[in-house]
Amino acid sequence: MFRCGIAYPRCRWIVPLLLLFAIIFDIIAIAATSGWVEDEDARSHYANMWSQCRGRNNEWGCKTLMEFPWAQAVAALMIIGLIILVIAFIISCIALCRTVNIGLLPVIGALLILVFILQVIALIIYPVKFQDLIYEGHYYFNWAYGFGWGATILTLGCAILFCCLPRYEDELTGMAKVKYLYSSD
């Protein structure tokens, strides 16, 4: 027989796992020492969320970006988003991994929407202000900045799932009647 739909009991384990990946991606983006921005030439200028460095070969001069209010705002928004994401992950493990607590799912969805908003604001402020401050040619946004966007997109997807899952309480708990696409009767 063909079974129609997704296996909801597996969602109980997959959605918290996706949140764990979002946390890992956020930590990589925040802790990266290079990889947010680099110039297109011979890598004579690069920056991360915390500092920017100029130079060539082994002679690099680094300056902190934390003297600028926009950089402080980006760091604060990313860190606050990460903290809320960790809290949402812990609550999701409590709500889905032991027993299904449907009442917590919209709360987790709301927390994840808040994380999404905070991180989108941070990830838009950074390139705009960086290019206003230090525009000397063409710059590329690299892997660590991409991990920040990856975490943000995963967060949005999980928020949508957590907002939709309360409709499928019976499917999540395994109490729903199996629906078949084709029956041989």
Tell me what pLDDT residue 185 has: 57
- Asked whether the beta carbons of 135 and 89 are under 8 A apart, the reply is no
Question: How far, in Å, CA of 98 to CA of 128, rounded?
Answer: 44
- Asked whether the beta carbons of 109 and 92 are under 8 A apart, the reply is no
- Asked whether the beta carbons of 147 and 29 are under 8 A apart, the reply is yes
> The pTM is what?
0.81
* pLDDT by position in tens, the chain (length 185): 334 445 556 667 788 889 999 999 999 999 987 778 887 765 677 788 888 887 777 777 888 888 999 999 999 999 999 999 999 999 988 887 777 677 788 899 999 999 999 999 999 998 888 877 776 667 778 888 899 999 999 999 989 888 877 665 555 555 556 565 665 65
- Asked whether the beta carbons of 93 and 104 are under 8 A apart, the reply is no
Tell me what pLDDT residue 34 has: 73
